[in-house]
Structure 1
Amino acid sequence: MAKRTKVRIVGKYGTHVASLRKMVKKTEISQHA
């Protein structure tokens, strides 16, 4: 059951987290550049 709920949460927020990571990477690159 726990695994299924985890998969559901990941599926829901997976794309959101990915977009957040992309934004963080962009900000980091801009800061270093």
Structure 2
Amino acid sequence: MGLTEMVIFDQIFRFMKIAVLGLGIWDEFILI
């Protein structure tokens, strides 16, 4: 795997983590 693929994968992983955290926060708001 080249350096470019690693950078793209890191960006996607970071975005997914933020999206999951965001959904978790929204679930908390909806439950309240």
TM-score by length of 1: 0.64
Q: Runs of 5+ in structure 1 lacking a partner? A: 1-8
Q: Runs of 5+ in structure 2 lacking a partner? A: 26-32
Alignment length (residue pairs): 25
User: Percent identity of the aligned residues?
Assistant: 4
RMSD (CA atoms) = 1.0
TM superposition outliers: structure 1 runs of 4+ over 2 Å: 9-12
